[in-house]
Amino acid sequence: MQLKEILASEDFILLDGSISNPGKSLSWEIYSSTNYSYLDTERLEQEMPGLEEFREILLNPNVFTISEIAKEIEGYEKTLNAKIKKFSSNSIPKNRKRRTKQKNRNKEPRRLIHELQQTVYKTRLLAEAKAKLIKTGPEFDLLLDMVKLIEKEIELKKDPGYIRGERDYDKSENSDTDERLVAKILYFSLFSNKSPCLLAADKDFRNMLGVVPRLIGSDSFLPYNQKFRQKLIENPFRLYFKKAGNIGYEIKINSREMNYDRFFEIRNVSRGKSYSIGFQILDMWKQMCKSPLYNPVGLKNMGLEEPSSDKNHEQSPVLAQTPTHLS
């Protein structure tokens, strides 16, 4: 599927930086350089199309991003600004001949990195503006807590460099940007009238959006998560995954087609740990049901009123309806 088809057919699109990797592939090379002449002009030229593509997509009125993506671009911008300042002070030999030679050698990388600096600056401003246009309520924090809890235990995010042995530490947990994007997608599927979709090229999203909704939508949490399951059918989210070689996108996940687990279970932990996580998720769904936005009729009218503090109260509706798998 081509990008223009997605932009024309979707109402609400969230954009992840992985579609162009703004700065991630080049920032260390720039950081480790001490002079304009040490910069690889070919690498600088290769960086521009990805940034421009990201910015051009984000200029569409139905495309948005989140503040964490803008902060990642800002980090890249700060690296560029600091190095350009350093390059300027390091690049002026005292000898006139050497100064002329150096100036000629620096001309092209200097032009390219300053051009890159301006593009990054414009991209960051646009990302910040687009992030401010999407608002969420306290229900988002509950969804984010669920996503983080599941991801932490199953380790759905992967660091390819660490797996390949290129570094001795795992960078996948350095940021919660992916978790926030996943929680945002779930939030807008639940609480908006527009089916949200995510454009990405990071395989972690295939894992997270394929696993997290299936688990938190488990039969074990009914009836608290019933609206969640209904909305993911009525107002489904989609994951569009960018194909290798820049040849378009394909739909990897459509929540309308999702099958939920009958029982909540995390297989790579002990049964006791899995039950403990299940109870935490169950408690979050109960908290969600107290939100008028999620549950306008209230817990009492659902027959799910919280137990009273009366010591003579023998059995509450909540305890009576706690899923047997988690009791």
Whole-number pLDDT of residue 167 = 55
Gap between the Cα atoms of 300 and 242, Å rounded: 46
User: Using the 8-state DSSP alphabet, how is residue 14 labeled?
Assistant: E
User: Using the 8-state DSSP alphabet, how is residue 306 labeled?
Assistant: P
Beta-sheet strand order (sheet of 249-254): 63-64, 12-15, 196-200, 238-242, 249-254
Whole-prediction pTM:
0.84
Gap between the Cα atoms of 221 and 203, Å rounded: 28
HEC sequence for 27-84: HHHHHHCCCHHHCCHHHHHHHHHHHHHHHHHHCCCCEECCHHHHHHHHHHHHHHHHHH
Among residues 183, 173, 121, which one has the least CA distance to residue 146? Answer: 183
What lies within 8 Å, CB to CB, of 135 at 6+ separation is none
Whole-number pLDDT of residue 58 = 97
Burial track 163-174 (b if 16+ CB lie within 10 A, e otherwise): eeeeeeeeebee
Q: Which residue has the tokens 């002329």?
A: 100
User: Other CB atoms closer than 10 Å to residue 233's CB: what's the count?
Assistant: 12
| Low-confidence residues of the chain: pLDDT under 70 | 21-34, 37-38, 89-106, 158-173, 246, 298-327
HEC sequence for 255-285: HHHCCCCCCCCCCCCCHHHHHHHHHHHHHHH
If DSSP codes are grouped into helix, strand and coil, which group holds residue 128? Answer: helix
Whole-number pLDDT of residue 199 = 97
Q: Contact, 289 vs 304, CB < 8 A? A: yes
Alpha carbon distances (Å) from 132 to 66, 68, 75, 279, 326: 8, 11, 18, 34, 40
Whole-number pLDDT of residue 46 = 80
pLDDT tens, residue by residue, 178-200: 999 999 999 999 999 999 999 99
Gap between the Cα atoms of 64 and 41, Å rounded: 31
Whole-number pLDDT of residue 313 = 34
Whole-number pLDDT of residue 172 = 56
Whole-number pLDDT of residue 303 = 58
Gap between the Cα atoms of 209 and 39, Å rounded: 39
DSSP element (H, E) containing 147: helix 138-154
